[in-house]
Structure 1
Amino acid sequence: MPKPAGVDSPPTPAVGLGALLADRELELRLVVAGPEPAEVHGVHASEMADPSPYLLGGELLLTAGAGLAEPQAGPASGADDAADAYVRRLVGSGVAALGFGVAPLHAEVPAELVRACTRHRLPLLEVPPRTRFTAVARAVWRLMAEARTRELRRVTEAQQALAAAAARPDPVPAVLSRLAASLGGHVRLWPDGRAAGSPVPPEAPAVPAALDALLARVGRADGPATATDQADGRHLAAYAL
């Protein structure tokens, strides 16, 4: 789910929630799906009514519901209000998903929590009694390590491909083409003007001007060696050669 303004995820490889749900040993069940595939950057377990001061954003928060209203205690509207406030705090902290451990405190995921997560579009998982929270955390760290290994392999292969392209008789277009393919985007050499890769789509009209400004900024004698920017939802980066 999109992060609230000002909330940044930790610098760790993301683990798709789908990968955790696919782990048969965990037997997690998706109760509420978010508006888009959630990405988990860490795991935190807390029974606090407000764990937000201890969150960085991007976590799968695990709880047994000790901080929520007791089952069948008080009017339903009071339980709904408490659950709604709880989920709003989590969403405001940038939590990626909520994992609720059933038993020993709750025999099932509280209905008011399901309603609140549905209302605020926070992914909600049911953690069965036989699955320990530490097992969920270990699965996340394992998937992160695998993602990091894949990324290192991808970077190494890209560097080797760029070195091979640079050794060709006409190295500039070869390097530009190889770099664009590795990034899956658009690459331009400034002020030469040569480019490679997919063209800037018409639904991103602000990208060309923003990219030109970024390249001119890095290209100055007193400019930075690197610079980044965002335009029309696209990530832009410039590097001095």
Structure 2
Amino acid sequence: MAVTVRELLGIRSLGLLLRFEGSDNALDAQIHWVHQSELIDSTLFTEPGEVLMTTGSRLPRPDETSAEELAEVYRQYVQRLCDSSVVALGFGVGDRHDQVPDELLRSAHRYGLPVFEIPWELPFSAVIKAVSKSRSDAEHAYLRRTNTAQRRLIAAAGRPNVAQSVVSSTAQTIGGWAVLVDHNGRMVVHTHTDQLSRAAQAVRQHMASGKTVSFADDERAHLCVHTITGSEDQMRGFLVAGTPGDLDPLAISTCLLASNLLGIFLSLTGRLETALSEMRSSLIAEALAGNADLVQRAGKSVWPKTPHDPVQLGCVEGTEAQLDALRLADIPAAWGQLDGRLWIVTRPPMQARLAAQIDEDGLRMGWAPPCSWRELGEARRLALGDLLRHDAGVNLVDLLPRQEAEAFARTKLGPIVDPGNEELLTTLAAWLDADGSLDVAAAALGVHRHTVSRRMRRICELLGLGSVDHSVRHDLWFACQVLAHHGELPTATTA
């Protein structure tokens, strides 16, 4: 909140007269305080950023010494002031000196120290009071601006579109631009499209720095990046903000408050989105199982625009980040993730639009022909079959109705799937995966090969098998695959 030398000289009521402006930008130096000293060497009593005032009572006049000694006294005097980081010298005339000594001005020119003349009738205390008042006024103005900025941001957090409102208010307050970037690096909200590439680069540099707040500047602007964290210290994204000039303290504090508000908002919405995502997945599972009435009744609460008959079912494969980034809220669609795939129920006219977006994002998708909500169970297999033509990674179990597949598995495995026989079931699965090798299965289970052999004899007794030939082994292996695919195969533990 310091006043500059230029601002001090601009106070007309003081009548200060600039005699030398100093080196480049010297008048823009901030004044931390002003004090008076008549000492030839005031180094011990001067701090950086101060203006020193003097009447020159200890400084010689031209008629008191030789020209060479006079020049050396003034040179050393000014040099000591500059070494002490004094930002300007105020010289009071009319007492010992009728004007600012020429040798003083020559030395000031040599070292780049600004010098101003203080009129005889102006007490030094008036200069001190003026600086004090300017600092106080600046502090009050800063507090008012800070209060206004905080109220503006808090009001923005109460509007319907919180993220957009907070980001826009941040940009307006700092007189620049702002971008909200999610944890995947996607630009969620922005105020200036032409700054997106710079924001992306700043986020990459910020992440590499490992800092919570980082600053970067170039020839055109000064910007900062804040890591947005939630209530559980979970990283939610980044706020990038920049201005045409240097970020002042108000801009920095504004960005800090904005990132905190966004952290609270994103934490709340993140928990709500997680619950909503789980509900959507459950409803899609019900729809694919044939419970269309339940889904259509509840769908109005979990999807923005639930489609009506006829509908078309799609199945999408990709990374979790890619699936989360798909834009579905602005079209008639119901969606949810099951077993790492995203299932989408939409209106047939939307199929081409979605296909274009999915191809652009590098995802894989299969479509079933148009049908009714009640026919989605059959459409599920058709969509997976279409996906299979584009992706060899589709599991055969996906193409089977879950109830029939699980019934087959339980029939083939019989009492092995009963409670209490988990050890036998995991041993059978490990032995089948090892292609009947006792040693490999024992290593996978962390037990002795004799233990595996003993358990396999018990399994054959329970299943009524004299031996496990190739066809029986194939059926048992597929039964274990069905249970594993649906999360019903116990996890093997080492002994």
TM-score normalised according to structure 1 size: 0.76
Once the 2 structures are TM-superposed, how far is the Cα of residue 59 of structure 1 from its aligned partner? 1.2
Q: Is the 8 A contact 1:210 1:231 kept in 2?
A: no
Once the 2 structures are TM-superposed, how far is the Cα of residue 152 of structure 1 from its aligned partner? 0.6
SS for the counterpart of 1:30 is strand
Answer with 148-157 or 31-40: which moved more: 31-40
Once the 2 structures are TM-superposed, how far is the Cα of residue 191 of structure 1 from its aligned partner? 5.1
Q: Which amino acid aligns with 1:77?
A: E
Distance, in Å, in 2 between the alignment partners of 1:139 and 1:200 is 45
Once the 2 structures are TM-superposed, how far is the Cα of residue 77 of structure 1 from its aligned partner? 2.6
Task: Give the greater-gyration-radius structure (CA).
Answer: 2
Query: Residue in 2 aligned with 1:110?
Result: 101
Once the 2 structures are TM-superposed, how far is the Cα of residue 135 of structure 1 from its aligned partner? 0.8
- The alignment covers a number of residue pairs equal to 217
Once the 2 structures are TM-superposed, how far is the Cα of residue 55 of structure 1 from its aligned partner? 2.4
Deviations 1:39-84 (A, max 9, x none): 3221111112222222222112111113433443222232222222
Query: Residue in 2 aligned with 1:25?
Result: 13
Distance change >3 Å, CA 23–CA 217, structure 1 → 2: closer
Aligned counterpart in structure 2 of residue 83 of structure 1, from 69, 74, 78:
74
Q: Is the 8 A contact 2:52 2:86 kept in 1?
A: yes
Query: Residue in 2 aligned with 1:59?
Result: 50
Deviations 1:99-131 (A, max 9, x none): 001121111101011111122221111001101
Answer with 36-45 or 157-166: which moved more: 36-45
User: Higher relative CO (CA 8 A, sep ≥ 6), structure 1 or 2?
Assistant: 1
Distance change >3 Å, CA 228–CA 54, structure 1 → 2: farther
SS for the counterpart of 2:51 is strand
Distance, in Å, in 2 between the alignment partners of 1:131 and 1:56 is 24
Q: Which amino acid aligns with 1:56?
A: E
Distance, in Å, in 2 between the alignment partners of 1:111 and 1:207 is 52
Distance, in Å, in 1 between the alignment partners of 2:59 and 2:196 is 49
Q: Which amino acid aligns with 2:72?
A: D
Distance change >3 Å, CA 213–CA 120, structure 1 → 2: farther
Distance, in Å, in 2 between the alignment partners of 1:69 and 1:235 is 52
Distance change >3 Å, CA 182–CA 79, structure 1 → 2: farther
Once the 2 structures are TM-superposed, how far is the Cα of residue 228 of structure 1 from its aligned partner? 5.7
Once the 2 structures are TM-superposed, how far is the Cα of residue 189 of structure 1 from its aligned partner? 4.5
Distance, in Å, in 2 between the alignment partners of 1:207 and 1:67 is 56
Query: Residue in 2 aligned with 1:217?
Result: 211
Once the 2 structures are TM-superposed, how far is the Cα of residue 235 of structure 1 from its aligned partner? 7.3
CA RMSD of the aligned region, Å?
3.0
Q: Which amino acid aligns with 2:87?
A: A
Q: Is the 8 A contact 2:179 2:196 kept in 1?
A: no
Once the 2 structures are TM-superposed, how far is the Cα of residue 160 of structure 1 from its aligned partner? 1.0
Q: Is the 8 A contact 2:90 2:115 kept in 1?
A: yes
Map 1:98-137 → 2, pairs under 5 A: 98-137=89-128
Answer with 80-89 or 159-168: which moved more: 80-89
Query: Residue in 1 aligned with 2:139?
Result: 148
Once the 2 structures are TM-superposed, how far is the Cα of residue 239 of structure 1 from its aligned partner? 6.1
Q: Which amino acid aligns with 1:14?
A: A
Q: Which amino acid aligns with 1:15?
A: V
Distance change >3 Å, CA 26–CA 185, structure 1 → 2: same
SS for the counterpart of 1:72 is helix
Q: Is the 8 A contact 2:92 2:119 kept in 1?
A: yes
Q: Is the 8 A contact 1:200 1:207 kept in 2?
A: no
* Stretches of structure 1 lacking an aligned partner (at least 5 in a row): 1-12, 219-226
Aligned counterpart in structure 2 of residue 173 of structure 1, from 164, 168, 173:
164
Q: Which amino acid aligns with 1:112?
A: E
TM-score normalised according to structure 2 size: 0.39
Distance change >3 Å, CA 235–CA 169, structure 1 → 2: closer
Identity %: 33
Distance, in Å, in 1 between the alignment partners of 2:7 and 2:214 is 31
Query: Residue in 2 aligned with 1:138?
Result: 129
Moved >6 Å (runs of 4+) = 206-209
